[in-house]
Amino acid sequence: MHAIAIHGGAGTLAPADLTPENERAYRAGLERALRAGFAVLDAGGTALDAAVTAVQVLEDEPLFNAGRGAVVAANGLHELDASVMDGRDLRAGAVTGVRHVRSPIELARLVMERSPHVMLAGTGAEEFALEQGLQPVPNSHFATERRRLELERMLQGQIEAGRESLMGTVGAVALDASGNLAAATSTGGMTGKKWGRVGDSPIIGAGTYAANDCCAVSATGHGEFFIRAAVAHEIASLMRYRGLDVADAADEVVMQQLVRLGGSGGVIAVGRDGRIAMPFNSEGMLRGAMDSRGLFKTGLLRE
């Protein structure tokens, strides 16, 4: 069996802003990414290729906070984070604070596959990108009017920092027909972030984790809390050491541990049996799931 789940962030939309046109656009974007990732699996491709493919579709789609359409930091720039993990051998790659890399998830994968490291930051990561032959893009490539206005409103105190509407991330988890799991996550972080702030998305074990013996997880939400709860790895641990299935493990972390800490957001997770869980404790989480048994769904708010 094969399966894929994706998310487009827990904070991208305020329920009040969800017009029918918005809803259609979000669902269409999610569906494109889902189908692109699923097609890789259907053709016998790996979970890693499927997860990265789905995330790249979302990075290029300006509706989501990753790649084009990423939020704006306090310095007026887009500073992007991404990470990927291959459940076959626990290899992982991550980048943080990159400004000129069109697809941060592609660079994270290159870090995993072509460097001896797991995480590269800022200018060093960009130097590596150039060495790997990636064509740099101007920082304005990521800009959208909506995100510029959000920063302005935040700086004027009209929206509080940390509000869900200022967040968002994209991610994908996949199980391929050979039983391999992979997870990928990419984000612009949080609107108005400063001092080189890094959230959970590029942190292996917090925003991203995959291991063939249990599950693949990609998170979205208020990153500081997700780091403290080591969310993605905690879900794997509950499966390994307490024997929980993927749905119970993800629920325990998102609906109990994170809630106790005060962290809002959610995760997508797929178990090695192909079961998919997509719990969130925020008002909404853009999400979708598809598997070889005929499952197809997308969702935006609570059902």
> Do 81 and 189 touch, CB atoms closer than 8 A?
yes
Select from 45, 67, 87, 189 the one that contacts ligand ASP (CB under 6 A): 189
Interacting span for ligand ASP (CB under 6 A) from 8-16, 115-123, 285-293, 294-302: 8-16
Q: Which of 169, 186, 212, 257 binds ligand ASP (CB under 6 A)?
A: 169
How many residues are recorded in the chain? Answer: 303
In 3D space, the residue among 4, 177, 176, 212 whose CA is nearest the CA of residue 89 turns out to be 212
Nearer to ligand ASP, 67 or 168 (CB): 168
Q: Is 9 in the site for ligand ASP (CB under 6 A)?
A: yes
Rounding to the nearest 10 degrees, give the CA dihedral for residues 61, 282, 302, 169: 20
- Say how far apart CA 212 and CA 183 lie, in whole Å: 11
* Residue 191 engages ligand ASP in binding (rule: CB under 6 A): no
- 186 binding ligand ASP? (CB under 6 A): no
Site string for ligand ASP, 223-242 (x = CB under 6 A): x-------------------
The single residue of 96, 169, 185, 187 carrying the catalytic annotation is 169
Give, to the nearest 10 degrees, the angle between helix 47-60 and helix 20-42: 150
Reply yes or no on whether 185 is catalytic. Answer: no
Rounded to 5°, angle at Cα 54 from 150 and 15: 35
Both tokens assigned to 226: 């997700």
Options 34-42, 100-108, 147-155, 219-227: segment touching ligand ASP (CB under 6 A): 219-227
Q: How far apart are CA 203 and CA 262, in angstroms?
A: 20
Please report whether residue 208 would count as binding ligand ASP according to CB under 6 A.
Answer: no
Q: Please choose, out of 116-124, 162-170, 254-262, 288-296, the segment that lies near ligand ASP by the rule CB under 6 A.
A: 162-170
The dihedral built from the CA positions of residue 39, 45, 47 and 53, taken in this order, carries a sign that is negative
Binding footprint of ligand ASP on the chain (CB under 6 A): 9-11, 167-169, 187, 189-190, 199-201, 220-221, 223
**What positions carry a catalytic annotation?**
169
